[in-house]
Amino acid sequence: MTTSLAVPPLDTGKAGFFRFRRLGKKVLLTNDVGRFALLTPAGFQKFTQGKLRPEDALHKELREKGFIRDFTDFEQMIERWRSSHSFLWQGPSLHIVVVTLRCDHKCVYCQTSSVGMDAAGVDMSEATARSVVDTIFESPSPALTIEFQGGEPLANWPAVRCIVDYSREQARRKGKTLWLNLVTNLSLMDDEKLEFLLSHDVAICTSVDGPASVHDANRIAVGGGSPAVVVRWWKKIRSLTRGKTFGIDALMTTTRKSLSHGKEIVDEYVRLDARGIYLRPLSPYGFVRKTWEAVGYGPDEFLAFYRDTLDYIFALNRKGKNIFETTFRMLATKALKNEDPNFLDLRSPCGAGIGQIAYNYDGSVFTCDEARMLSRMKDDAFRLGHVADGYAAIVNHPTVKALALASCLDNQAECAGCAYLPYCGACPVENYVKQGDLFARTPTGDRCRVYKGIQDYFFEKIGEKGSRKIVDSWTRVPTGQPQRD
Protein backbone atom coordinates (compact mmCIF):
# COMPACT_ATOMS: atom_id res chain seq x y z
CA MET A 1 0.00 0.00 0.00
CA THR A 2 1.03 3.59 -0.55
CA THR A 3 1.82 5.68 2.51
CA SER A 4 2.43 9.40 2.88
CA LEU A 5 5.91 10.80 2.44
CA ALA A 6 6.83 14.32 3.42
CA VAL A 7 8.66 16.46 0.87
CA PRO A 8 12.34 16.09 1.83
CA PRO A 9 15.04 18.75 2.09
CA LEU A 10 16.14 19.13 -1.52
CA ASP A 11 19.55 20.01 -2.93
CA THR A 12 18.48 21.52 -6.25
CA GLY A 13 22.07 21.78 -7.34
CA LYS A 14 22.45 17.99 -7.31
CA ALA A 15 19.00 16.45 -7.86
CA GLY A 16 17.38 16.79 -11.24
CA PHE A 17 13.63 17.00 -11.85
CA PHE A 18 11.61 14.13 -10.40
CA ARG A 19 8.24 13.09 -9.06
CA PHE A 20 7.96 10.56 -6.26
CA ARG A 21 5.56 8.21 -4.50
CA ARG A 22 6.01 5.96 -1.47
CA LEU A 23 5.25 2.29 -2.16
CA GLY A 24 5.49 0.21 0.99
CA LYS A 25 9.21 0.06 1.88
CA LYS A 26 10.30 1.67 -1.40
CA VAL A 27 10.16 5.13 -2.93
CA LEU A 28 9.32 5.40 -6.63
CA LEU A 29 11.00 8.15 -8.65
CA THR A 30 9.81 9.07 -12.15
CA ASN A 31 10.59 11.84 -14.60
CA ASP A 32 8.91 13.39 -17.64
CA VAL A 33 10.37 10.89 -20.11
CA GLY A 34 9.11 7.84 -18.21
CA ARG A 35 12.37 6.73 -16.59
CA PHE A 36 11.86 5.35 -13.09
CA ALA A 37 13.82 4.08 -10.12
CA LEU A 38 12.82 2.28 -6.92
CA LEU A 39 14.84 3.49 -3.94
CA THR A 40 15.04 2.66 -0.28
CA PRO A 41 14.07 5.55 2.03
CA ALA A 42 17.76 5.94 2.93
CA GLY A 43 18.77 6.06 -0.72
CA PHE A 44 15.99 8.54 -1.44
CA GLN A 45 17.25 10.80 1.35
CA LYS A 46 20.82 10.67 0.03
CA PHE A 47 19.59 11.52 -3.46
CA THR A 48 17.43 14.49 -2.44
CA GLN A 49 20.12 15.90 -0.14
CA GLY A 50 22.85 15.58 -2.77
CA LYS A 51 24.89 13.11 -0.71
CA LEU A 52 25.31 10.43 -3.36
CA ARG A 53 28.88 10.05 -4.61
CA PRO A 54 29.69 9.44 -8.30
CA GLU A 55 31.18 6.05 -7.45
CA ASP A 56 27.97 4.90 -5.74
CA ALA A 57 25.92 2.35 -7.70
CA LEU A 58 22.75 4.36 -7.04
CA HIS A 59 24.38 7.52 -8.38
CA LYS A 60 25.30 5.67 -11.59
CA GLU A 61 21.74 4.36 -12.02
CA LEU A 62 20.15 7.74 -11.40
CA ARG A 63 22.49 9.70 -13.64
CA GLU A 64 21.90 7.23 -16.51
CA LYS A 65 18.16 7.74 -16.07
CA GLY A 66 18.34 11.54 -16.00
CA PHE A 67 17.78 12.18 -12.29
CA ILE A 68 21.15 13.80 -11.51
CA ARG A 69 21.16 17.45 -12.52
CA ASP A 70 24.75 17.82 -13.75
CA PHE A 71 24.58 14.63 -15.81
CA THR A 72 21.30 15.30 -17.62
CA ASP A 73 21.51 14.36 -21.31
CA PHE A 74 18.81 16.60 -22.75
CA GLU A 75 19.24 15.40 -26.33
CA GLN A 76 18.68 11.81 -25.21
CA MET A 77 15.66 12.80 -23.12
CA ILE A 78 14.12 14.76 -26.00
CA GLU A 79 14.51 11.80 -28.32
CA ARG A 80 13.02 9.46 -25.72
CA TRP A 81 9.99 11.73 -25.27
CA ARG A 82 9.56 12.11 -29.02
CA SER A 83 9.67 8.35 -29.50
CA SER A 84 7.04 7.60 -26.86
CA HIS A 85 4.75 10.37 -28.19
CA SER A 86 5.10 9.67 -31.91
CA PHE A 87 1.32 9.20 -32.13
CA LEU A 88 0.90 12.99 -31.85
CA TRP A 89 2.17 13.43 -35.42
CA GLN A 90 0.42 10.50 -37.07
CA GLY A 91 -3.29 11.30 -37.11
CA PRO A 92 -6.13 8.98 -36.02
CA SER A 93 -5.12 5.35 -36.37
CA LEU A 94 -8.11 3.58 -34.75
CA HIS A 95 -11.45 3.92 -36.52
CA ILE A 96 -14.50 2.42 -34.81
CA VAL A 97 -17.30 1.63 -37.25
CA VAL A 98 -20.75 0.82 -35.87
CA VAL A 99 -22.51 -0.97 -38.70
CA THR A 100 -25.71 -1.65 -36.73
CA LEU A 101 -27.34 -1.10 -33.36
CA ARG A 102 -29.18 -4.43 -33.56
CA CYS A 103 -28.11 -7.24 -31.23
CA ASP A 104 -29.44 -10.61 -30.08
CA HIS A 105 -28.02 -10.23 -26.54
CA LYS A 106 -29.29 -8.32 -23.53
CA CYS A 107 -26.09 -7.81 -21.54
CA VAL A 108 -26.64 -6.32 -18.09
CA TYR A 109 -23.82 -3.82 -18.64
CA CYS A 110 -24.41 -3.01 -22.33
CA GLN A 111 -22.53 0.23 -23.02
CA THR A 112 -24.03 0.79 -26.45
CA SER A 113 -27.75 0.76 -25.63
CA SER A 114 -28.30 -1.73 -28.44
CA VAL A 115 -31.74 -2.52 -29.83
CA GLY A 116 -33.56 -5.74 -30.71
CA MET A 117 -33.02 -7.70 -33.89
CA ASP A 118 -36.35 -6.58 -35.34
CA ALA A 119 -35.55 -2.86 -35.11
CA ALA A 120 -35.60 -0.94 -38.39
CA GLY A 121 -33.50 2.00 -39.61
CA VAL A 122 -30.42 1.23 -37.51
CA ASP A 123 -28.19 -0.48 -40.11
CA MET A 124 -25.40 1.22 -42.06
CA SER A 125 -25.99 1.29 -45.81
CA GLU A 126 -23.27 0.20 -48.23
CA ALA A 127 -23.09 3.74 -49.63
CA THR A 128 -22.43 5.13 -46.14
CA ALA A 129 -19.93 2.32 -45.52
CA ARG A 130 -17.89 3.36 -48.57
CA SER A 131 -18.00 7.01 -47.50
CA VAL A 132 -16.72 6.01 -44.05
CA VAL A 133 -13.80 4.12 -45.61
CA ASP A 134 -12.96 7.10 -47.85
CA THR A 135 -12.85 9.32 -44.75
CA ILE A 136 -10.70 6.87 -42.82
CA PHE A 137 -8.08 6.75 -45.56
CA GLU A 138 -7.67 10.51 -45.47
CA SER A 139 -5.90 10.07 -42.12
CA PRO A 140 -2.13 10.61 -42.52
CA SER A 141 -1.42 7.69 -40.19
CA PRO A 142 0.70 5.09 -42.03
CA ALA A 143 -1.08 2.27 -40.16
CA LEU A 144 -4.85 2.14 -39.75
CA THR A 145 -7.15 -0.11 -37.75
CA ILE A 146 -10.82 -0.46 -38.59
CA GLU A 147 -12.78 -2.05 -35.76
CA PHE A 148 -16.34 -3.23 -36.30
CA GLN A 149 -18.64 -2.58 -33.36
CA GLY A 150 -22.36 -2.62 -32.70
CA GLY A 151 -24.83 -3.85 -31.63
CA GLU A 152 -23.72 -7.13 -33.14
CA PRO A 153 -21.81 -6.34 -36.38
CA LEU A 154 -22.65 -9.68 -37.99
CA ALA A 155 -26.30 -8.62 -37.95
CA ASN A 156 -25.38 -6.31 -40.85
CA TRP A 157 -23.12 -8.62 -42.82
CA PRO A 158 -23.42 -6.74 -46.16
CA ALA A 159 -21.89 -3.60 -44.60
CA VAL A 160 -19.10 -5.58 -42.92
CA ARG A 161 -18.24 -7.32 -46.18
CA CYS A 162 -18.34 -4.06 -48.13
CA ILE A 163 -15.97 -2.31 -45.70
CA VAL A 164 -13.53 -5.22 -45.62
CA ASP A 165 -13.33 -5.44 -49.43
CA TYR A 166 -13.19 -1.69 -50.05
CA SER A 167 -10.69 -0.92 -47.25
CA ARG A 168 -8.33 -3.65 -48.44
CA GLU A 169 -8.52 -2.16 -51.93
CA GLN A 170 -7.79 1.34 -50.56
CA ALA A 171 -4.89 0.10 -48.43
CA ARG A 172 -3.22 -1.48 -51.47
CA ARG A 173 -3.78 1.63 -53.55
CA LYS A 174 -2.48 4.07 -50.92
CA GLY A 175 0.31 1.88 -49.53
CA LYS A 176 -0.97 1.85 -45.93
CA THR A 177 -0.81 -0.91 -43.35
CA LEU A 178 -4.36 -1.98 -42.47
CA TRP A 179 -5.60 -3.99 -39.52
CA LEU A 180 -9.21 -5.17 -39.43
CA ASN A 181 -10.84 -6.25 -36.19
CA LEU A 182 -14.36 -7.61 -35.70
CA VAL A 183 -15.87 -7.39 -32.20
CA THR A 184 -18.62 -10.01 -32.10
CA ASN A 185 -20.53 -12.26 -29.73
CA LEU A 186 -20.15 -15.00 -32.40
CA SER A 187 -23.83 -15.96 -32.22
CA LEU A 188 -24.43 -15.15 -35.90
CA MET A 189 -21.16 -16.60 -37.19
CA ASP A 190 -21.27 -19.31 -39.87
CA ASP A 191 -18.68 -21.08 -42.00
CA GLU A 192 -19.17 -18.84 -45.02
CA LYS A 193 -18.69 -15.64 -43.02
CA LEU A 194 -15.67 -17.07 -41.20
CA GLU A 195 -14.01 -18.16 -44.45
CA PHE A 196 -14.40 -14.64 -45.84
CA LEU A 197 -13.09 -12.98 -42.66
CA LEU A 198 -10.03 -15.18 -42.34
CA SER A 199 -9.21 -14.95 -46.05
CA HIS A 200 -9.09 -11.17 -45.59
CA ASP A 201 -6.97 -11.32 -42.39
CA VAL A 202 -9.73 -10.00 -40.11
CA ALA A 203 -8.90 -10.45 -36.43
CA ILE A 204 -11.80 -11.43 -34.18
CA CYS A 205 -12.51 -10.33 -30.64
CA THR A 206 -15.32 -11.79 -28.58
CA SER A 207 -16.57 -11.56 -25.01
CA VAL A 208 -15.80 -14.20 -22.41
CA ASP A 209 -16.82 -13.10 -18.93
CA GLY A 210 -15.67 -16.34 -17.32
CA PRO A 211 -17.24 -19.74 -16.70
CA ALA A 212 -20.82 -20.28 -17.84
CA SER A 213 -22.33 -19.28 -14.49
CA VAL A 214 -20.69 -15.84 -14.65
CA HIS A 215 -20.93 -15.37 -18.42
CA ASP A 216 -24.66 -16.20 -18.49
CA ALA A 217 -25.39 -13.87 -15.58
CA ASN A 218 -23.69 -10.95 -17.39
CA ARG A 219 -24.44 -11.67 -21.03
CA ILE A 220 -28.01 -12.80 -21.56
CA ALA A 221 -28.43 -14.33 -25.01
CA VAL A 222 -31.90 -14.24 -26.50
CA GLY A 223 -32.67 -17.93 -26.88
CA GLY A 224 -29.77 -19.01 -24.64
CA GLY A 225 -26.64 -20.96 -25.47
CA SER A 226 -24.10 -18.12 -25.43
CA PRO A 227 -21.12 -19.84 -23.69
CA ALA A 228 -21.36 -23.01 -25.78
CA VAL A 229 -21.53 -20.99 -29.00
CA VAL A 230 -18.52 -18.87 -28.04
CA VAL A 231 -16.41 -21.89 -27.09
CA ARG A 232 -17.26 -23.77 -30.29
CA TRP A 233 -16.29 -20.91 -32.59
CA TRP A 234 -13.32 -19.94 -30.41
CA LYS A 235 -11.77 -23.38 -30.79
CA LYS A 236 -12.37 -23.43 -34.54
CA ILE A 237 -10.90 -19.97 -35.10
CA ARG A 238 -7.90 -20.74 -32.89
CA SER A 239 -7.15 -23.87 -34.88
CA LEU A 240 -7.41 -22.04 -38.21
CA THR A 241 -5.24 -19.06 -37.23
CA ARG A 242 -2.35 -20.60 -35.31
CA GLY A 243 0.92 -19.07 -36.47
CA LYS A 244 -0.80 -16.14 -38.19
CA THR A 245 -0.47 -12.46 -37.33
CA PHE A 246 -4.20 -12.32 -36.55
CA GLY A 247 -6.59 -14.62 -34.72
CA ILE A 248 -9.09 -14.45 -31.89
CA ASP A 249 -8.90 -12.72 -28.51
CA ALA A 250 -11.46 -12.05 -25.81
CA LEU A 251 -12.62 -9.31 -23.46
CA MET A 252 -14.23 -9.71 -20.08
CA THR A 253 -16.18 -7.08 -18.19
CA THR A 254 -16.07 -7.10 -14.41
CA THR A 255 -19.45 -6.96 -12.68
CA ARG A 256 -20.36 -7.52 -9.04
CA LYS A 257 -20.92 -11.17 -9.98
CA SER A 258 -17.29 -11.37 -11.16
CA LEU A 259 -15.69 -10.10 -7.96
CA SER A 260 -15.81 -13.45 -6.14
CA HIS A 261 -14.81 -15.53 -9.16
CA GLY A 262 -11.39 -14.19 -10.18
CA LYS A 263 -9.64 -17.57 -10.24
CA GLU A 264 -12.47 -19.27 -12.10
CA ILE A 265 -12.48 -16.50 -14.71
CA VAL A 266 -8.74 -16.88 -15.32
CA ASP A 267 -9.10 -20.66 -15.40
CA GLU A 268 -11.68 -20.32 -18.17
CA TYR A 269 -9.23 -18.25 -20.22
CA VAL A 270 -6.52 -20.82 -19.57
CA ARG A 271 -8.91 -23.58 -20.68
CA LEU A 272 -9.49 -21.67 -23.91
CA ASP A 273 -5.72 -21.28 -24.37
CA ALA A 274 -6.11 -17.50 -24.54
CA ARG A 275 -2.87 -15.54 -24.69
CA GLY A 276 -4.13 -12.91 -22.26
CA ILE A 277 -7.00 -11.55 -20.21
CA TYR A 278 -8.15 -7.95 -19.77
CA LEU A 279 -9.64 -7.38 -16.32
CA ARG A 280 -11.84 -4.54 -17.48
CA PRO A 281 -13.92 -2.43 -15.08
CA LEU A 282 -17.43 -1.28 -15.90
CA SER A 283 -17.91 1.83 -18.04
CA PRO A 284 -20.56 4.46 -17.16
CA TYR A 285 -22.50 4.28 -20.44
CA GLY A 286 -25.70 2.71 -21.68
CA PHE A 287 -27.78 0.20 -19.73
CA VAL A 288 -25.34 -0.01 -16.81
CA ARG A 289 -26.59 3.35 -15.52
CA LYS A 290 -29.92 1.65 -14.86
CA THR A 291 -28.50 -1.60 -13.47
CA TRP A 292 -25.64 -0.18 -11.40
CA GLU A 293 -27.14 -1.08 -8.03
CA ALA A 294 -27.21 -4.73 -9.08
CA VAL A 295 -23.97 -5.04 -11.06
CA GLY A 296 -21.76 -2.14 -9.91
CA TYR A 297 -19.11 -1.75 -7.21
CA GLY A 298 -16.69 0.78 -5.77
CA PRO A 299 -13.07 1.34 -6.83
CA ASP A 300 -11.67 -0.35 -3.73
CA GLU A 301 -13.74 -3.46 -4.42
CA PHE A 302 -12.45 -3.60 -7.98
CA LEU A 303 -8.84 -3.11 -6.89
CA ALA A 304 -9.10 -5.94 -4.37
CA PHE A 305 -10.44 -8.17 -7.14
CA TYR A 306 -7.72 -7.01 -9.51
CA ARG A 307 -4.83 -7.63 -7.11
CA ASP A 308 -6.11 -11.04 -6.02
CA THR A 309 -6.66 -12.11 -9.62
CA LEU A 310 -3.25 -10.83 -10.72
CA ASP A 311 -1.63 -12.74 -7.86
CA TYR A 312 -3.22 -15.88 -9.28
CA ILE A 313 -2.03 -15.02 -12.81
CA PHE A 314 1.54 -14.59 -11.53
CA ALA A 315 1.29 -17.92 -9.72
CA LEU A 316 0.21 -19.60 -12.97
CA ASN A 317 3.11 -18.01 -14.85
CA ARG A 318 5.56 -19.30 -12.25
CA LYS A 319 4.19 -22.79 -12.95
CA GLY A 320 4.86 -22.37 -16.67
CA LYS A 321 1.41 -21.27 -17.88
CA ASN A 322 2.01 -18.09 -19.87
CA ILE A 323 -0.97 -15.74 -19.76
CA PHE A 324 -0.77 -11.96 -19.39
CA GLU A 325 -3.10 -9.27 -18.08
CA THR A 326 -3.65 -6.50 -20.63
CA THR A 327 -3.42 -3.37 -18.45
CA PHE A 328 -0.24 -4.67 -16.81
CA ARG A 329 1.25 -5.44 -20.21
CA MET A 330 0.44 -1.95 -21.52
CA LEU A 331 2.01 -0.30 -18.47
CA ALA A 332 5.08 -2.50 -18.90
CA THR A 333 5.40 -1.50 -22.56
CA LYS A 334 5.40 2.16 -21.49
CA ALA A 335 7.61 1.92 -18.41
CA LEU A 336 10.04 -0.83 -19.40
CA LYS A 337 10.33 -0.40 -23.18
CA ASN A 338 9.55 3.31 -23.66
CA GLU A 339 7.08 2.43 -26.39
CA ASP A 340 3.54 3.62 -26.93
CA PRO A 341 1.47 0.41 -26.83
CA ASN A 342 -1.48 1.95 -28.72
CA PHE A 343 -3.59 1.63 -25.58
CA LEU A 344 -5.74 4.69 -26.20
CA ASP A 345 -7.31 4.81 -22.73
CA LEU A 346 -3.90 5.53 -21.17
CA ARG A 347 -2.69 8.34 -23.40
CA SER A 348 -2.04 11.99 -22.72
CA PRO A 349 -3.42 13.76 -24.66
CA CYS A 350 -6.19 11.19 -24.99
CA GLY A 351 -7.03 9.25 -28.11
CA ALA A 352 -10.38 10.96 -28.68
CA GLY A 353 -10.28 12.66 -32.08
CA ILE A 354 -6.48 12.35 -32.16
CA GLY A 355 -5.91 8.61 -31.93
CA GLN A 356 -9.40 7.37 -32.73
CA ILE A 357 -12.64 8.38 -34.42
CA ALA A 358 -16.00 6.60 -34.22
CA TYR A 359 -18.55 6.38 -37.04
CA ASN A 360 -22.18 5.62 -36.32
CA TYR A 361 -24.46 3.56 -38.59
CA ASP A 362 -25.94 6.74 -40.10
CA GLY A 363 -22.58 8.30 -40.94
CA SER A 364 -22.43 10.63 -37.94
CA VAL A 365 -18.95 10.99 -36.48
CA PHE A 366 -17.79 11.17 -32.84
CA THR A 367 -14.50 11.73 -31.04
CA CYS A 368 -14.48 8.15 -29.77
CA ASP A 369 -16.77 5.20 -29.23
CA GLU A 370 -17.57 6.37 -25.69
CA ALA A 371 -18.83 9.65 -27.19
CA ARG A 372 -20.97 7.65 -29.60
CA MET A 373 -22.34 5.67 -26.64
CA LEU A 374 -23.14 8.96 -24.90
CA SER A 375 -25.11 10.01 -27.97
CA ARG A 376 -27.31 6.94 -27.42
CA MET A 377 -28.03 8.51 -24.02
CA LYS A 378 -29.41 11.60 -25.82
CA ASP A 379 -26.29 13.75 -25.46
CA ASP A 380 -24.42 14.79 -28.63
CA ALA A 381 -21.79 16.89 -26.86
CA PHE A 382 -18.96 15.05 -28.61
CA ARG A 383 -20.43 14.71 -32.09
CA LEU A 384 -18.02 16.00 -34.76
CA GLY A 385 -20.43 16.04 -37.67
CA HIS A 386 -21.02 13.63 -40.55
CA VAL A 387 -18.75 11.82 -43.00
CA ALA A 388 -20.21 14.06 -45.69
CA ASP A 389 -18.50 17.03 -43.99
CA GLY A 390 -15.06 15.69 -44.94
CA TYR A 391 -12.01 14.59 -42.96
CA ALA A 392 -10.54 18.08 -42.43
CA ALA A 393 -13.74 19.44 -40.88
CA ILE A 394 -13.96 16.41 -38.57
CA VAL A 395 -10.41 16.44 -37.17
CA ASN A 396 -10.28 20.23 -36.91
CA HIS A 397 -13.56 20.41 -35.00
CA PRO A 398 -13.29 22.61 -31.86
CA THR A 399 -14.38 19.65 -29.71
CA VAL A 400 -11.25 17.71 -30.71
CA LYS A 401 -9.10 20.63 -29.57
CA ALA A 402 -11.04 20.94 -26.31
CA LEU A 403 -10.54 17.24 -25.52
CA ALA A 404 -6.83 17.42 -26.34
CA LEU A 405 -6.48 20.29 -23.87
CA ALA A 406 -8.60 18.64 -21.19
CA SER A 407 -6.72 15.35 -21.42
CA CYS A 408 -3.22 16.78 -21.19
CA LEU A 409 -2.23 15.66 -17.69
CA ASP A 410 0.19 18.55 -17.21
CA ASN A 411 -2.89 20.79 -17.16
CA GLN A 412 -4.48 18.88 -14.26
CA ALA A 413 -3.54 20.15 -10.80
CA GLU A 414 -3.53 16.69 -9.19
CA CYS A 415 -1.93 14.91 -12.15
CA ALA A 416 0.88 17.38 -12.76
CA GLY A 417 2.67 16.30 -9.58
CA CYS A 418 1.79 12.61 -9.74
CA ALA A 419 4.56 10.06 -10.18
CA TYR A 420 2.37 8.19 -12.65
CA LEU A 421 1.94 11.07 -15.10
CA PRO A 422 4.29 9.52 -17.75
CA TYR A 423 2.22 6.32 -17.92
CA CYS A 424 -1.34 7.48 -17.34
CA GLY A 425 -4.10 9.12 -19.33
CA ALA A 426 -7.39 10.95 -18.96
CA CYS A 427 -10.81 10.40 -20.52
CA PRO A 428 -12.66 13.74 -20.76
CA VAL A 429 -15.82 11.98 -21.95
CA GLU A 430 -15.93 9.86 -18.80
CA ASN A 431 -15.15 12.95 -16.69
CA TYR A 432 -18.09 14.70 -18.35
CA VAL A 433 -20.45 11.79 -17.67
CA LYS A 434 -19.41 11.21 -14.06
CA GLN A 435 -18.47 14.71 -12.89
CA GLY A 436 -20.03 17.13 -15.35
CA ASP A 437 -16.68 18.58 -16.43
CA LEU A 438 -14.12 17.75 -19.12
CA PHE A 439 -11.36 18.32 -16.57
CA ALA A 440 -11.29 15.59 -13.96
CA ARG A 441 -11.70 16.31 -10.29
CA THR A 442 -9.20 13.54 -9.61
CA PRO A 443 -9.34 13.45 -5.79
CA THR A 444 -12.98 12.32 -6.03
CA GLY A 445 -12.74 10.42 -9.31
CA ASP A 446 -13.15 6.64 -9.42
CA ARG A 447 -11.05 6.37 -12.58
CA CYS A 448 -8.03 7.99 -10.89
CA ARG A 449 -8.36 5.74 -7.83
CA VAL A 450 -8.53 2.63 -10.00
CA TYR A 451 -5.58 3.44 -12.25
CA LYS A 452 -3.48 4.77 -9.39
CA GLY A 453 -4.16 1.55 -7.48
CA ILE A 454 -3.25 -0.57 -10.51
CA GLN A 455 -0.01 1.36 -11.00
CA ASP A 456 0.87 1.04 -7.31
CA TYR A 457 0.56 -2.70 -7.70
CA PHE A 458 2.47 -2.68 -11.00
CA PHE A 459 5.53 -0.96 -9.57
CA GLU A 460 5.40 -3.10 -6.45
CA LYS A 461 5.51 -6.23 -8.64
CA ILE A 462 8.31 -5.15 -10.94
CA GLY A 463 10.33 -4.39 -7.84
CA GLU A 464 10.27 -8.15 -7.20
CA LYS A 465 12.94 -9.97 -9.18
CA GLY A 466 10.85 -13.00 -10.14
CA SER A 467 7.77 -10.96 -10.99
CA ARG A 468 9.80 -8.49 -13.09
CA LYS A 469 10.95 -11.34 -15.32
CA ILE A 470 7.36 -12.44 -15.88
CA VAL A 471 6.20 -8.91 -16.72
CA ASP A 472 9.13 -8.49 -19.13
CA SER A 473 7.97 -11.61 -20.97
CA TRP A 474 4.49 -10.13 -21.40
CA THR A 475 5.88 -7.18 -23.37
CA ARG A 476 7.23 -9.58 -25.97
CA VAL A 477 3.77 -10.84 -26.94
CA PRO A 478 3.25 -9.20 -30.38
CA THR A 479 0.49 -6.72 -31.04
CA GLY A 480 0.24 -4.16 -33.81
CA GLN A 481 -3.24 -2.79 -33.33
CA PRO A 482 -4.53 0.09 -31.21
CA GLN A 483 -6.09 -1.22 -28.01
CA ARG A 484 -8.90 0.37 -26.06
CA ASP A 485 -11.57 -0.30 -23.52
SS3 252: strand
Burial letters 86-122, b for 16+ CB under 10 A, else e: ebeeebbbbbbbbbbbbbbbebbbbbbbbbeeeeeeb
**Least trusted range by pLDDT, from 158-167, 322-331, 338-347:** 338-347
* Same domain flag for 78 and 106: no
Shared-domain flag, residues 307 and 231: yes
Contacts of 422 (CB under 8 A, 6+ apart): 30, 31, 32, 33, 34, 334, 335
Helix (H, G, I), strand (E, B) or coil at 301: helix
One domain, residues 319 and 452: yes
Question: Torsions phi, psi of 389, nearest 5?
Answer: -75, -20
Does any domain span residue 2? Answer: no
Question: DSSP letter at 281?
Answer: P
pLDDT band of 119, cuts 50, 70, 90: very high
In the chain, helix, strand, coil percent, each to 5? 45, 15, 40
pLDDT tens, position by position, 213-228 = 999 888 877 665 678 8
The length of the chain, given as a count of residues: 485
Could you tell me if residue 140 is inside a domain?
Answer: yes
In a domain? residue 391 = yes
Residue 270, Cβ density class (10 Å: 0-12 exposed, 13-18 middle, ≥19 buried): middle
123 and 224 both lie in a single domain? yes
The CATH number of the domain holding residue 143 is 3.20.20.70
**Residue whose C-alpha is closest to residue 212's, from 224, 227, 232:** 227
* Beta pairing class for 364-366 and 383-386: antiparallel
Residue 472: inside a domain: yes
pLDDT band at 209 (very low <50, low <70, confident <90, very high): very high
Domain endpoint, select from 54, 84, 114: 84
Last residue of a domain, one of 63, 84, 105: 84
145 and 45, same domain (yes or no): no
Higher-pLDDT residue of 37, 83: 37
Burial of residue 157 (CB within 10 Å: 0-12, 13-18, 19+) is middle
Mean pLDDT computed over 38-63? 95
Do residues 73 and 109 share a domain? no
Least confident range of 70-84, 159-173, 214-228, 301-315? 214-228
Task: Say how many C-beta atoms besides its own lie within 10 A of residue 253's C-beta.
Answer: 23
- Domain check: are 62 and 98 in the same one? no
Residue partners of 380: CB distance under 8 A and separation at least 6: none
| pLDDT the model gives residue 1 | 38
Top-confidence range, 74-88, 102-116, 207-221, 315-329: 315-329
Q: Is the peptide bond before 151 cis (omega within 30 degrees of 0)?
A: yes
Residue-wise pLDDT tens digits, 274-289: 999 999 999 888 778 8
Residue 251 in contact with residue 278, Cβ under 8 Å?
A: yes
Angle separating helix axes 446-462 and 326-337, nearest 10 degrees? 60
Show which of 84, 114, 141 is a domain's final residue: 84
221 with 286, same domain? yes
Is 7 among the domain residues?
Answer: no
**68 and 176 share one domain:** no
Tell me how far apart the alpha carbons of residues 306 and 461 are, in angstroms, rounded to a whole number: 13
**In terms of domains, do 269 and 196 share one?**
yes
pLDDT digits (tens, 9 = 90+) for 292-321: 889 999 999 999 999 999 999 999 999 999
User: What is the structure's pLDDT at 413?
Assistant: 82
pLDDT value, residue 479: 55
The count of structural domains within the chain is 2
Q: Give yes or no for a contact between 99 and 161, defined as CB atoms under 8 angstroms apart.
A: no
Residue 89 forms part of a structural domain: no
32 and 128 both lie in a single domain: no
pLDDT tens for each residue of 8-23: 688 888 899 999 999 9
pLDDT > 70? residue 7: no
- Return the H-helix or E-strand segment holding 470: helix 465-474
- 14 lies in some domain: no
* pTM of full prediction above 0.85: yes
Per-residue pLDDT at 450 exceeds 70: yes
- For residues 129 and 159, the answer to whether their CB atoms sit within 8 Å is yes
Same domain for 128 and 52 = no
Residue 297: inside a domain, yes or no?
Answer: yes
Of the two residues 315 and 340, the one the predictor is more confident about is 315
> What is 29-46 written as a DSSP string?
EE-TTS-EEEE-HHHHHH
Q: Can you give the residue range of the structural domain that contains 52?
A: 19-84
Half-sphere exposure of 203 (CA within 13 A, CB side): 20
Helix (H) or strand (E) segment spanning residue 182? strand 177-183
